[in-house]
A and B are shown apart, each in its own frame.
Chain A
């Protein structure tokens, strides 16, 4: 438990640092005037620039600005949008339901990917250098080298309703989806799964591509351990060796990798959201970037870093559950 407490503290420290870094990146690289020009356009009155700069705290020193922003964050206020179409609207309202929709979009394929990647890697390791292993390794390697965008475009083109009748002919997510809010969204996804099969499958494939090679490698490492040889020597069946002796220890590195790949999965989800027009954080970020809406992108980046830290923490918890040694050793 001390180990987990230590990791939690570490996570909190990381988050605090991330908030400083992400805040400084846009605020130190441009001047308040440049931001005001970008947001209000070049034809606005000079007084409007001044008002905008003052209202958004841009005329203070950066520690003051940061403190103001952090104080707001701690009180659930994510700042005001710079988007010309929704100028001054609280970012919290803009992000709102998008966050939960993205959450429900990312989590199921990630769990499914682990459930696919672990047996896949295990079987590959047991059939090492056999046709199955070669085919799977090649497929995973190609998948790993395919840009998410291209994968989505190809899936949209070829996995159509005529091939897979459960799909919706539209190919992208229903526009009604953006009116469904947080808690109701899982039910909405279940009832309209014909829209969500493809984007979730795309995320599943990308994540499997990243994970199964590690599972294969880690299972290969485990296979040459002495206790596996002993188990085989005493006549344990292949399936018993596979599930009793190899599965658990080789899962440990995969859990670490999964924790570390949360940022990669989120980046991949961004592109899939854009390709399938899924109303989530990804699309909002892209739109906000194009409109120089710094507060919105800042808030989203911070939320997703938070998700990453939580993901790493969950991976640590899983490690403790899978690997009993960690409970006693802890880490300095």
Chain B
């Protein structure tokens, strides 16, 4: 956690160095996103059980109020200051909306049988149309409109991507928090098991499961999501481990509160920052995994298709000059994954509001 990511380097100069050193202290990281209204440097107790939204918890009393507004508002402000991250969110929203609803505006016939009677084939050297007014992104060698296919494949790629990330986060958060909070022998067993899973190269594990499971969307969501959560679990375990012995958790215990209450009311809300960051990276990773599978010919089975399968098909025609089968899709795709990475970095910074507000 003490690693500064390239997206958000340490900004400022020598005058900020002390501030930066503060950021590097392990304690500063452990207390990330506990409570932005209180400055833990001065040893003050954070208010008991204030969840990030400030709803339901005690109002902040005493202590230095370093910023105005609720924690979410502060985080939002820091996030919005990061222009690149905002642009990434907008870009991801546009691509997602276009893939899901683009066919209401632009709806070419994607049926392979209709391709023969379509306008894709022409008398050019390679036999099918490049970008034109009828086909803005050109056509594939099978006579199917490229832009329409990007929307169609994108819809399924994104469905698998988003839902796999959801599966990853559900498993990872539950596993990590149980392991870290319970501790003891259960923690040892669960973490050894996690080490074992982490030692199996991911793509090979996916292929091993695919020898016995069909390539339906549900199957791929479960396989990609089910093999992606090991790192998240380890991260969340560390988070739970550092949160469960905080003063407010001890206070709940002293007052007779149950472990379940500590998990739901304190550990879970306070570790949401780490989880949200990990979730953004998980989204990028699961879309990359699906693309890898598609490229290997193991993506969504026809009649469905995904972006990886499109790259595979396009690569066969690329050599004959149809750049439009690779570049538009490639750029859309790289920017999408880039966006998830930028947003992940920006989220991490936004959750370190307390550290940035000084």
How far apart are the CA atoms of A79 and B36 in the complex, in Å? 59
| Residues of chain A from 228 to 260 with CB closer than 8 A to chain B in the complex | 253, 260
By size class, the interface of chain B is 35 or more
Band of interface residues on A:
35 or more
Q: Which of chain A's residues 273-326 have a Cβ closer than 8 Å to chain B?
A: 274-275, 285-286, 288-290, 292-294, 297-298, 300-301, 304-305, 308-309, 312
Residues on A with C-beta less than 8 A from B245 are none
CB neighbours of A74 from chain B (8 A): none
Is B199 an interface position by the 8 A CB rule? yes
Query: Hey, what's the 0/1 contact readout for B204-246 against A, CB within 8 Å counting as 1?
Result: 1101111111000000000000000000000000000000000
Which among A24-32, A45-53, A56-64 touches the partner chain? A24-32
Q: Which residues of A contact B24 (CB under 8 A)?
A: 221, 224
CB-defined contacts of B196 to chain A, threshold 8 Å:
14, 17-18, 21
What is the 8 Å Cβ interface bit string for chain B, positions 298-334, against chain A (1 contact, 0 not)?
1000000000100110110011000000100010011
Q: Is B10 an interface residue (CB 8 A)?
A: yes
Task: Please tell me if the beta carbons of B21 and A305 are within 8 angstroms of each other in the complex.
Answer: no
Which of A35, A270, A292 is packed against the most chain B CB atoms within 10 Å?
A: A270
Say yes or no for B192: interface residue by CB 8 A criterion. Answer: yes
State whether A217 touches B4 (Cβ < 8 A).
yes
B87 is an interface residue with CB less than 8 A from chain A: no
Q: B318 — nearest CB in chain A belongs to which residue?
A: A157
**A residues less than 8 Å from B9 (CB atoms):** 128-129, 133, 137, 220
Instruction: Give B321's nearest chain A residue, CB to CB.
Output: A157
A123 on the interface (CB 8 Å rule)?
A: no
Chain A contacts for B308, CB-based, 8 A:
147, 149
CA distance in complex: A79, B6 (Å): 46
Query: Given that A308-B201, A309-B199 are contacting pairs, would A154 and B3 also be in contact in the complex, using a CB cutoff of 8 Å?
Result: no
Binds A, one of B135-143, B146-154, B289-297: B289-297
B contact set with A: CB distance below 8 Å: 2-7, 9-11, 17, 20-21, 24, 192-193, 195-205, 207-213, 284, 288, 291-292, 295-298, 308, 311-312, 314-315, 318-319, 326, 330, 333-334, 337-338, 341
Known contacts A145-B338, A147-B333, then 8 further A-B pairs from the complex at CB < 8 Å, ordered by chain A residue? A17-B195, A29-B209, A148-B292, A221-B4, A263-B198, A267-B201, A271-B203, A294-B212
